Amino acid sequence: MTADTDADDAQSAPQPEPHVGIVLVSHSERLAEGVAELARQLGGDLVPIAAAGGTDDGSLGTSIEKIGSAIRDADAGAGVLLLADLGSAVLTVRALLEDAAELNGAPERADDSGAAARDAASVGSARAVIADAPLVEGAVSAVVTAAAGGDLAAVLASAEEARGFRKL
Amino acid sequence: MNPPDGPDARFDSVSFDDASSDTASSDTVLFDTAFFRAWITRVADAVEAEREHLTALDSAIGDGDHGANLSRGFAAVMRTFDVSSPRTPATVLVLTGTTLISKVGGASGPLYGTAFRRAGQALNDAPDVDLAGLAGALGAALAAVRKLGAAHDGDKTMVDALAPAVETLDKAVLAGASPRDALTAAAAAAEAGAEATIPMQAHKGRASYLGPRSVGHKDPGAASTALILAALRDTAVAIEGGHSGADAGGDTRSGDGGEHDDGDDTSGDDTGSDSTDHVA
């Protein structure tokens, strides 16, 4: 948002391509922050990363307000990938994205196919999509691709490849 | 679906076909803003009364917070109603859903929240809704829950209570049942559906991590869905009861939400004249 609104900057210097942002949603504030810390180390300063962990009062759970705010923070103009840990975190992200898709004029379709539901939704000015991926591995995989300049589709694909990672 | 007889078979499906009771038929009874608000208020009361029971169910196979979460969520809904008085049935439900998504930290927040929001959106801006409209709204809620939770019938979720309720209500509408009979049957179907989750193995939510050990417990989400449908039945019955069954539609307008035509309710037959076009 702030990166590309200033016309003077755009004329005086070549505008760097914005990188896809990443939002980490967890039931636990500390878990979300911890994964964000790990991801930031891999993404350097290039990739905007925001954590949305816990409820508004800091207990375990999910806050739709925190998620919405994190999406705004992580959007540099190239879109935002969301990763969530479990159950209600996933459901809350999806509820937010589906509402956003509806607000932006998408006709209501009661029985969307999974594929259609995965289209990026516009949350405010940010395009946002959730990855079907494990939180830690997905974040690491996504941030590497985002830092390399991958677009939202590439970052999403990269995160979802992490589902197949084996450790042994 | 439901056992046709048994101790609680006041409303076997046959009664839809000869619904010649003293209650008004479905095409004359309209549910207005006050009705929907009364329903949600009953839900809040029921959730509070059953809080410990829901928590006990959830402690068996979940994380034990379903009662507390719903109680907190619906208490917040009641406060929201006090602050911004909703003016249409749709706004009652959308406001309910939005508040639940915000205030319930667990999975029931986005699930119930989205269900109420989609139900409300299905009603558009109609000042009142007939039984078919109400059934359509609950159908939209079911579709939303199925989609968001990716839950199928038999996964031991709230879908297992909501789906039979919607199916029963749709059939009742087609059969021309009275709202009272239709909503009574829908509530019974939800209750039976919730009971039927006991032998199921969970395939969604935290309970699914238990695998076969989830068998033998009622799903808390199905149980709370049954409460919500029971509250809907009770709201309809209370309104009819207060009006001797003569013209329930007129009675539902007597609340605080019927400002759209309060001036012309001198006769009892104003239902359906000015608003059913929007609903149909």
- B244 Cα to chain A: minimum distance (Å): 39
Chain B residues close to A114, C-beta within 8 Å: 150
pLDDT digits (tens, 9 = 90+) for B189-237: 999 999 999 989 888 887 888 888 889 889 999 999 999 999 999 999 9
CB-based contact B205 A87, cutoff 8 Å: yes
Domain assignments of chain B as residue spans, ordered by start: 33-254
Q: Is B205 on the interface with A (CB under 8 A)?
A: yes
Residues of A that are catalytic? 27
CB-based contact B102 A64, cutoff 8 Å: yes
User: What are A45-49's contacts with CB under 8 Å, separation 24+?
Assistant: A46/A19, A46/A146, A46/A147, A47/A19, A47/A20, A47/A21, A47/A22, A47/A143, A47/A146, A47/A147, A48/A19, A48/A21, A48/A22, A48/A73, A48/A74, A48/A75, A48/A76, A49/A21, A49/A22, A49/A23, A49/A24, A49/A74, A49/A143
- Report the alpha-carbon distance of residue A95 to residue B148 in Å, rounded: 7
Helix-, strand-, coil-residue percentages of chain A, each rounded to 5:
45, 15, 40
- A91 Cα to chain B: minimum distance (Å): 6
**Where is pLDDT greater, at B187 or B277?**
B187
Which pLDDT score is estimated for B242? 57
Chain A residues close to B102, C-beta within 8 Å: 63-65
Q: Which B-chain residues 137-196 have CB contacts (< 8 A) with chain A?
A: 140, 143-144, 147-150
The dihedrals phi and psi of A123, each to the nearest 5 degrees, come to: -105, 105
For residue A111, give every residue at least 6 positions away whose Cβ sits within 8 Å of its Cβ, in sequence order, or none. Answer: B143, B147
Confidence of residue B150 (pLDDT cuts 50, 70, 90): confident
Q: Which two tokens stand for residue B61?
A: 């196979």
Q: Is B113 on the interface with A (CB under 8 A)?
A: yes
Mutating which of A92, A93, A98, A99 best tests the B interface, going by the most B Cβ atoms within 10 A? A92
CATH superfamily, domain at B33-254? DhaL domain (1.25.40.340)
Q: What is the pLDDT along chain A (168 residues), one digit of tens a residue?
A: 444 444 444 455 666 789 999 999 999 999 999 999 999 998 878 999 999 999 888 888 899 999 999 999 999 999 999 999 988 899 999 999 988 887 775 433 333 434 334 668 888 888 999 999 999 999 999 999 999 999 999 999 999 999 988 888
For chain A, list residues whose CB is within 8 angstroms of any CB belonging to chain B. 55, 59-65, 86-88, 91-92, 94-95, 98-99, 102, 108, 110-112, 114, 117
CB-based contact B101 A95, cutoff 8 Å: yes
- Listed in order, strand segments (DSSP E) in B64-159 are 128-129
| Ordered domains of chain A (ranges, CATH) | 18-162 (3.40.50.510)
The pLDDT of residue B79 is above 80:
yes
- B228 Cα to chain A: minimum distance (Å): 21
* Closest residue of chain A to B208, computed from CA coordinates: A87
Mutating which of B70, B114, B155, B210 best tests the A interface, going by the most A Cβ atoms within 10 A? B114
CB-based contact A64 B101, cutoff 8 Å: yes
* Closest residue of chain A to B103, computed from CA coordinates: A63
Block residue for tokens 């970052």: A155
Concatenating the DSSP letter of every residue in B212-276 gives: GGGTTS--HHHHHHHHHHHHHHHHHHHHHHTTTTT-HHHHHTTSTT-TTSGGGTTSTT-TTTSSH
Residue range B21-27: mean pLDDT, rounded: 45
- CB-nearest partner of B102 from A59, A65, A91: A65
Interface A–B counts its CB contacts (< 8 A) at 60
Which pLDDT score is estimated for B65? 84
Pairing between strand A121-123 and A80-84? unpaired
- Report the alpha-carbon distance of residue A168 to residue B113 in Å, rounded: 41
Side-chain half-sphere CA neighbours of B117 within 13 A: 24
ipTM above 0.90, yes or no: no
First to last CA, chain B: 28
- CB-nearest partner of B148 from A64, A94, A102: A94
The pLDDT of residue B43 is above 70:
yes
Chain A residues close to B117, C-beta within 8 Å: 99
CB-based contact B105 A63, cutoff 8 Å: yes
Which pLDDT score is estimated for A121? 85
